[in-house]
Amino acid sequence: MITPVRKPRTPVAPKPASAPAAEPGSPLSILLLGGGSDALRDIESLVAEGGATGSNVNTIAGLAEAARAVKDFTYDAVIFNIDAGYDRASTSLTGVIELLDEVPIIILSSEDDQRLAVDALNAGAQDYLVREEVDGHALVRSVRYAMERKRTEQRLQAMLNYDTLTRLPNRELLLDRLTQSIATATRQESNVALLLLDLDRFKLVNESLGQDFGDKLLCRVAAEVQTCIGDSDTLARLGGDEFVVVLSGIRGAQDAAKAATKILRKLSTPFVIDGHEVFVTASIGISLFPNDGLDKNALITNADVAMYRAKEKGRNHFQFYASSMNAATVARMALENDLRRAVERNELVLHYQPQMKCASGEIFGFEALVRWQHPELGLIPPVRFIPLAEESGLIVPIGEWVLNEACRQNKAWIDSGGKPMIVSVNLSSRQLHQERILKTVTDALGSSGLDARYLALEITESCLMHDPDDAVVTLSLLHNMGISVSIDDFGTGYSSLGYLKRFPLDALKIDRAFISEVTENPEDAAIVRAILAMAHALRLKVVAEGVETEKQLRFLRKIGCDEVQGYLLSKPLPADDFAAQFVKPGND
């Protein structure tokens, strides 16, 4: 929390409604404000008359003392005894209700003043009673009703101001706290830091392990981050996997950096939930008041810009906002908006790169690689838009389009008399762990008429290892259809030999990083030999990616590599160019 300018009308913490509603006749705990000993005896007598035997009624004269009493003890209600006229009473009750607003308040007045009654109820009092018209039963009934109304009010306030999952302040309460923090910092000439935290690849966790698991993870993350900040700071949930920390009264950027480092370090410890060990990283964007914005909206917007820059730089770290980021962010947002319409506007195209058998030199297949023909920016390579597609979720419709188009094109070449070849298509992690992946693949084969034996799916190690049990089932079903499956970019992930034996695989594709210097670097050569020996022991074929020289090809042939792919054969080509060079007549 922050130190408020004045106490907000919302509760300082989301509490469940205190206790269950009191049973008729059960004792009450009442604080009487004003009126002295005579008033105390009158109230005690009325409460007893109303049937609430054994009740406790305390009296306090001053407002400050009453605030302390309410803080230190649990009272069912406060009865504010008023003997003053309208002007004086109206001023008094405003102060009382603001200070004691967490406890049901009943106004007990000597006058039947309609204006004062309306003012009291509008200010937050639960009831307005005229002393001469009230008997014991009416007073006790009023107290019990006031207690229930206050419980309902607190529940509604919690719903309006707190996140129902994590019980953290939501966006509305965050904005209120941030506004107060800025006002305090302005008066005190101090700084405020806003840290916007986004969990990296959280959607993948949700999709692979389920929303219930994701919800539990969010609650655990919230609890861990809360331990990294002070009592005067605010942690809020914006929604999804985004959290905001407001640090008040800090000295400057060094305090914000210290807090961000502490949070990232805290989250680096794996979470164990329902028997699953999950590693979580986060990207944090930081904006500072007054340097990076003078109001709440500017601070949140600029922290969001910085957070995306942190993701672009590799995730799992924090980034301070800089004004130069705005241009890059605007360009990124524009590119994402264009990408959303790329499929429906037919702006995506496939290029094809041949694959060759090492021993015979036969071109037996090709990989389908997506490109984006932007109407203004020209041909955009996948390295620029695939990460954006993965973050935004657009990778699913893009991946489905690639699969359908690759199957259609391969079938068209076969139908035109070309020798049947295998088309390899990359499958994203998000696609693999979708429930409808089997239908997506069968629909692509069905609509194109392509035989399943002429389709190969490539999946990365990290994609498999995110949920190995789910992957085994899905890949087994695909494999049983006659589709071949290979691990792409092998050697860069973290799969284990134990898991590799479980997966129904046909091939491993050695990442180009190990091939580029395989003839010059003995360590790379040793790694490639080891992968080859392991794969063959598991009866898997090996494909070397990124082969660019004859020297590399000779080395790979010598050590028994099965297949190669790379610029030595050809760069990825548009469909017509690929067909002219590599689609040859043949018979199935």
Residue 84 has pLDDT above 70, yes or no: no
Instruction: Inform me whether the pLDDT recorded for 206 exceeds 50.
Output: yes
Has residue 31 got a pLDDT over 60? yes
Mean pLDDT for 442-454 is: 96
Say what the pLDDT of residue 328 is.
Answer: 66
If phi > 0 it is left, if psi is from -120 to 50 it is alpha, else beta; for residue 393 that is left
* Partners of 29 in beta bridges: 56
Examine the pLDDT at 418 and tell me if it is beyond 50.
yes
Q: Summarize the confidence of residues 353-361 as an average pLDDT.
A: 95
Query: For residue range 135-170, what is the model confidence (pLDDT) as tens digits?
Result: 989 999 999 998 998 888 878 777 788 888 999 999
What is the pLDDT, as a whole number, of residue 582? Answer: 96
Longest dimension (CA), the chain: 110
Is it the case that residue 204 has pLDDT exceeding 60? Answer: yes
Q: Which pLDDT score, from 0 to 100, does residue 17 have? A: 40
For the CA atoms of the chain, what is the radius of gyration?
34
Q: What pTM, to 2 d.p., does this model score?
A: 0.53
Select the highest-mean-pLDDT range: 79-83, 154-158, 369-373.
369-373
Q: What does the DSSP 8-state code read for residue 169?
A: B
pLDDT of residue 13: 46
Q: What is the pLDDT of residues 177-198, one digit of tens each?
A: 999 999 999 988 889 999 999 9
pLDDT band at 11 (very low <50, low <70, confident <90, very high): very low
Q: 488: closest CA among 337, 359, 369?
A: 369
Q: Residue 87's pLDDT band (boundaries 50, 70, 90)?
A: low
Percent of the chain with pLDDT strictly greater than 70: 90
Using one digit for the tens of pLDDT, what is the confidence trace for 224-233? 999 999 988 9
Phi and psi (nearest 5°) for 279?
-100, 130
pLDDT at position 329 is 66
pLDDT computed for residue 5 by the predictor = 28
Dihedral sign for Cα 236, 242, 244, 245, please. positive
- Amino acid residing at 381: P
Distance CA 126, CA 194 (A): 37
Q: Which domains does the chain have, with CATH numbers?
A: 29-160 (3.40.50.2300), 171-323 (3.30.70.270), 334-582 (3.20.20.450)
